[in-house]
Amino acid sequence: MPEQVIAVNMGQLEVSRRGGDVLAALGLGSCVAVCVYDPRVRMGGMIHVVLPSSAIGREREGQAKFADLGVPRLVAAMVKEGGSRQRLRLVMAGGANVLSSMNHGSALDIGSRNVAAVLAALETEKLSVWKSDVGGKTSRTVRLSVASGTVRVKTLRMGEKVLATLGGGNGQGSD
Amino acid sequence: MNDRKHVGEHPLDLLQSIGNMGAVKATASLSVLAGHPVENSYAKVRILPLEEVPGLFGDPERMIAAIIFQVSGDVRGQFIATFLMQDALDLITALTGAECSLEGEFSEMETSALAEAGNILASSYLAAIERTTGLAVVPSPPAVAVDMAAGILTSAVLPMHEAGSEILLIEARFGDRERELMGRMILLPSTESLPRLLRAVGGAAINA
């Protein structure tokens, strides 16, 4: 099947069962991509989280812009399209502090706040993260292949690496 | 808006003129640093939807070198200087006298050379605004990043966006005889600073 890249831009949520689709969030700095996969029906989903909390009164902006709203919406979208909550496997990547010399330890470090907010939202959903690649100082591109459930993370220094294969037996690594 | 009637200019034009003024001073300083003439080719003011920030320089994954300052005082916001990679390397070579390549991480000396170039751009640019408007415009120490354009730009803009500020971009591009585009300078004044800035620029335009 020819590969088709579906860009998941800031604040967007995408769910796909088309085997040729690759969901991709490009150049994440402090943003976080949450990838979810149901290996039985080979369905993948991704959100591109921008900010931790909608509590600043802007819940109408982008369905997955805020971690607290985006995570439950991603899970609900997977279930609505025929996935099973019990089978969902999740990974997340991103949340870097690219401007660390300026933002270190301050509220301006949105990356680490995004990661914490995604984890809190997953806990509320009683779901856990299989594998993550978060923090650091480097931007990432995250790709989820719908056919295999493979999640790849690319940085400019290290190139592209497999973070997890969610379609496999145990979902860990590229075995 | 009353300002418009008095000055006979649109607020965005006023901001553009201030951006131009800052950029002219900044590129004059950069010319000295680079050892050859650098000029502005473009100046523009626009309000950008957040969704367009990652693609501001085209390919979101494109590698750029950026020097970023928080601005405080009477005008708050961010000042960002960016260079295309080859120009960043050339500039580092001009400053340190040592060849610089893309292999591996930048050394401390290379990073501080970039920070110094950014410092010179930011201080000339912001000092020009200070002189014209009488407002205090103070840059923080710089943060240097060499990374994907989208990651750098969104990281710089999101704290302002989270605080409810519009993304108002005062952009200037600069280049030399060989390359039209070497880099850009972007001033992002916070929304709360705008009335003060516009009043001051309007006043300066009347007095000119």
B29: which 2 tokens?
Answer: 């300083």
CB A29 to CB B147 under 8 A?
yes
Q: Say whether domain B10-207 belongs to CATH 1.10.10.10.
A: no
Residue ranges of alpha helices (H) inside chain B are 2-7, 11-34, 85-96, 108-133, 149-162, 194-207
Query: Which residues have CB under 8 Å from A80's CB, separation 6+?
Result: none
The pLDDT tens digits of the residues spanning B147-183 come to 999 999 999 999 999 988 889 999 998 888 877 778 8
Interface confidence, given as ipTM, is 0.92
A35 carries an active-site annotation: no
> CA of A10: which chain B residue's CA is closest?
B51
Flag whether pLDDT at B200 surpasses 90: no
A28 CB neighbours in chain B (<8 A) are 150-151
- Of the residues A13, A25, A31, A32, only one is catalytic, namely A31
Nearest to A121 by CA among A60, A83, A78, A69: A69
Provide, as residue numbers in chain B, all residues whose Cβ is less than 8 Å from the Cβ of A107: 159
Given an 8 Å threshold on Cβ–Cβ distance, is B144 in contact with A101?
A: yes
- Domain architecture of chain A: domains with CATH: 4-165 (3.30.1330.200)
What pLDDT shows up at residue B6?
A: 47
Contact A156 B147 (CB under 8 A): yes
Q: Considering the entire predicted model, what is its pTM?
A: 0.90
Q: How far is CA A95 from each of CA A55, A150, A169, B71, B174, rounded to the nearest angstrom?
A: 19, 20, 28, 24, 32
Q: How far apart are CA B123 and CA B134, in angstroms?
A: 15
pLDDT 10s digits, B37-58: 888 877 889 899 999 999 999 9
Task: Tell me which residue has tokens 């961010």.
Answer: B78
* Angle B164-B170-B173 from CA coordinates, rounded to 5°: 140
| Neighbour count for residue A82 (Cβ, 10 Å) | 12
Give tens-digit pLDDT for A4-48: 999 999 999 999 999 999 999 999 999 999 999 999 999 999 999
Selection from A99, A12, A26 nearest residue B57 by Cα: A26
